[in-house]
Chains A and B, each alone.
Chain A
Amino acid sequence: MLKVEHLTKMFGGLAAVNDVSVEFETGKINAIIGPNGAGKSTFFNLISGLHQPTSGRILLDGADVTTLPSDRVARLGVGRTFQTTNLFEQATVLDNLIVGHRLRTRSGLWDVLINSKRLQREEKAARDKAMEALEFVGLSHVAGQFIADITQEERKRVAFALALATDPKIVLLDEPAAGINPEETVGFAALMRKMVDEKGLTVCLIEHKMDMIMSLADKIMVLDHGEKIAEGTPEEVRNNPVVIEAYLGGDEDAAA
């Protein structure tokens, strides 16, 4: 599905991501963990084309997407969410979501001027897609409310729905469970599982909530100082001494 080869990103003299190679399989939940500043978000930005890598390759279904800009990558089926999502606060949830399907439409200025059949058809498709995504994340009941009036947890779900409305094959989720309570976290884990099971999506997520990751992820990659220090099933990663050292800072501490 998504294959990354020797990916490196330098910011000045600092290697934010250093020679990382990894493969994410179709229909799996892949987690990326690591201490703050390990390069996790940069890694996502490289895949989604927001940053251009210094070296290395990114292959999506075998096609080289390394140097493509972000919008092209999105059109090829890479959806993503951000740690914070700025939406139009004084517009309804549904209105905010309709644009999610824009990348699958072609209407331009001329269509707007003459209100063409194509525009009408595409706007209906975009609206239907938004409703479908909203229903998938369980928020149909707030479709008509302003973004400003919904809860933090609902906002996070809206961000999911927005990514889903782009019809992605793979979704990159940057700390989806940050800032929500444990009960809601369980709900999000179920939602991610549903994305894989019902939509056949490949999920990649960055997360700090270990109990959630350990029960949810099929595969975990651990980054530290921009380098991949471990990779494997939750069980393997949990018992990896290098990971324990990275998190707890030394053997003696870990033993103690």
Chain B
Amino acid sequence: MFKFASLLMTPAAKYLMLAFAVLFPLVAANEYQVYVMATAFVWAIAVYGLNIITGFCGQLNLAHGGFFAIGAYTLGLLTADYGWSFWPAFVGALVMTAVLGFLVGIVSLRLKEHYFAIFTLCVGFIIYLLIDKWEELTHGAIGVRDIDAPYGFGLVDFTETTPFYYLVLAFLVFAIWFMGRLSKSLLGRTFIAIRNGDELAQSLGINLMRNKVLAFVLSTTYAGLAGALYAGMVRFIGPDAANIQHTFDMITYLLVGGIGTIMGPLLGTVGIVWITQSLQFLEEYRMIIFGPLLVLLVIFFPRGITGSFLTWMHRKSQALAPAKKRQERKVDTAQNREAESNA
């Protein structure tokens, strides 16, 4: 079991997963499955953003879905109403979410713990209200139609599902790659130190505000990236994109997959999206299954699938490897005792 599991820790496992993702459109039963997978990947990118601010930096941001919607609307409005083509609008969406993230961050991050969570919950709701009510800009409940699909430079047609799937996959791979690099870097360790405790982090010479704002801006940019891709894929968005429900869905994906881990957001999102798909026939009643499952998971596996797996692997390897060392140490002390008694 352990030997088999340790195969999952090798770099080869990563490439196998990537190979599966690349081959998925070929093995999928129909186009709809490819579409569902692409949607799951889009949400996964947003969940990676949430993982930076909440998983690594420890600040529960409940406005995350709002920033997803801002990314989607920025791209939608720029292409549909202002005649921008997709890629400039795409960059515009990233800049918009980064700038708004910065502005919201420098205000909201003055608050700590649940006060921050409540504040961002309100920010998320305000974003929803603005989108829903500011009809001159956002078309209100009618939503934005005729959003541009990504321009393929004459090489590919991104209005087709499969090419779009690969586009999303490319961004997802980048998002995961960056997350992996971040987590191992001094910057990622700085975020984790803040999660461990504000006061301890400060006593280690860490500037709280600067690092928290940086993590927040990174997370909102991830959300904006996902939102922009979503708008380019669905080609229509309404105020529901900013529904607070999306934030809680993303938190669920993150908790199930493994908060503060590299692969957790992907596994959690893809896993739950497919389970939801297969439970479609239960409609709203599927929450009767999801609710208790989530409660059990949080109680028994607080670090989600990935976190629990990594912990288990580490303990196993520690138990197997130093067994030899420990024996050596015992021999040492026995010899010492002998030497002492001789002396």
Contacts and interface: CB of A to CB of B under 8 A. Distances in A.
B204 A162 contact: yes
Interface stretch (A95-103, A206-214, A234-242, A244-252): A95-103
Given A50-B202, A69-B202, A112 B181 contact: yes
Interface string B177-206: 010011001111110110111011011111
Interface string A75-116: 100011010011110111001001110110101110111010
A21 interface: no
Interface residues of B, number: 32
B196 A87 contact: yes
A146 B314 contact: yes
B72 to A, nearest CB: 25
B194 to A, nearest CB: 10
B214 interface: yes
A69 B314 CA distance: 38
A113 B185 CA distance: 10
Query: Could you say which of A86, A99, A103, A162 has the most chain B C-beta atoms within 10 Å of its C-beta?
Result: A99
A145 to B, nearest CB: 6
Interface stretch (B21-29, B30-38, B269-277, B303-311): B303-311
A129 B20 CA distance: 41
Interface residues of A, number: 44
Interface in B197-219: 197, 199-200, 202-208, 214, 218
Interface string B133-153: 000000000000000000000
A184 interface: no
B318 interface: yes
A113 B192 contact: no
A74 interface: yes
B204 A100 contact: yes
A107 B185 contact: yes
B315 interface: yes
Interface string B298-323: 00000100010011001100100000
A122 B311 CA distance: 28
B311 A145 contact: no
A120 to B, nearest CB: 10
Contacts of A146: 311, 314-315, 318
Nearest to A100: B204
A99 B311 contact: no
Given A90-B303, A99-B192, A149-B318, A75 B186 contact: no
A107 B189 CA distance: 12
Given A86-B197, A146-B314, A149-B318, A109 B214 contact: yes
B202 A71 contact: yes
A15 interface: no
B206 A123 contact: no
B274 to A, nearest CB: 27
Given A70-B202, A86-B197, A113-B178, A105 B192 contact: no
Contacts of B188: 112
A99 B189 contact: yes
A109 B187 CA distance: 7
Contacts of A86: 196-197, 200
Contacts of B203: 48, 50, 70, 74, 79-80, 82, 163
A158 B208 CA distance: 22
A102 B186 contact: yes
B185 A103 contact: no
Interface in B210-252: 214, 218
Contacts of B310: 90
Contact of A102 (B189, B315, B318): B189
B206 A82 contact: no
A100 B218 CA distance: 23
Interface in A44-75: 48-50, 69-72, 74-75
A153 to B, nearest CB: 18
The 6 lowest CB-CB distance pairs between A and B, nearest first, are A103-B205, A74-B205, A70-B202, A99-B189, A86-B197, A112-B185
Given A82-B200, A146-B315, 4 more contacts: A88-B192, A99-B186, A109-B187, A112-B185
Interface of A: 48-50, 69-72, 74-75, 79-80, 82, 85-88, 90-92, 95, 98-100, 102-103, 105, 107-109, 111-113, 115, 119, 122-123, 126, 144-146, 149, 162-163, 166
